[in-house]
Structure 1
C-alpha cells in the first residue's frame, strides 16, 4: 500500500479501542485488499515489541480478509504499551491487545 492510499484511509473515521485505530475502505478498482500498519516508536519503545505487534496485526487482518473482510485496512497503535512493565510488552498485555484488535476487525 502506498503512502497516498494510507493518507486517504487515515482521513476516514476509524473504529477504535483503547489501543487501536482501524481505518478501512473499499479497495481500489481491480486490486486485492491491502494492509498498512503503523506502530510508532514513541508508543512502543522496543523494536522487538513493534515487530511483534506488526506480526499480530498481519495475522489477525489476514484471517479476517480470508473469511469475511474485503477492505483495504490501515491499523494504527494509539496508546503506549508497557507502561507498567518498563516499556516491555508482556503476555497479559499481548492478549489484551490481540482481543481488542479481534473486536475491531
Structure 2
C-alpha cells in the first residue's frame, strides 16, 4: 500500500480502542485489498518492539478473520507502549494489545 492510499484511509473515521485505531475502506475497483500498519518510532522506541507489533498485527488480521480479504485496512498505534517496563514490550502487554486488536476486528 502506498503512502497516498494510507493517508486517504487515515482521513476516514476509525474504530478505536485504548491503544489502536483501525481504518477501513473498500478496495479500489480491480485492485486487491491491502493492509497498512503504522507504528511510530515515538510510540515504540525499540525497533525490535515495532517489528514484533507489526508481525503480531499481520498474524491477527490473517488468522483472525477474513477482514483483509474484504477491504483495505490501516492499523495505527495511538499510545506509547512499555511505560511500566522502560519502553520495552513484554509478554503481558503484548497479550493485552493482541486482545484489543481482536476486539476491533
Same-fold call, TM cutoff 0.5 = yes
Task: Please tell me whether the aligned partners of residues 33 and 65 of structure 1 are also in contact (alpha carbons under 8 angstroms).
Answer: no
Name the residue aligned to 1:51. 51
Unpaired runs of 5+ in structure 1? none
Q: Structure 1 residue 65: deviation in Å?
A: 5.3
TM-score between both structures, scaled by the size of structure 2: 0.94
Residues 1:89 and 2:89 are matched in the alignment: yes
Task: Please tell me whether the aligned partners of residues 33 and 70 of structure 2 are also in contact (alpha carbons under 8 angstroms).
Answer: yes
SS in 2 for 1:74: strand
CA RMSD of aligned residues (A): 1.5
After the TM superposition, which residues 1-105 of structure 1 pair with which residues of structure 2 at under 5 Å, given as runs? Answer: 1-64=1-64, 66=66, 70-105=70-105
Runs of 4+ in 1 over 4 A off after TM superposition: none
Tell me the number of residue pairs that the alignment of Structure 1 and Structure 2 aligns: 105
SS in 2 for 1:40: coil
TM-score between both structures, scaled by the size of structure 1: 0.94
SS in 2 for 1:52: helix
Unpaired runs of 5+ in structure 2? none
Query: 1: CA distance between counterparts of 2:66 and 2:52?
Result: 21
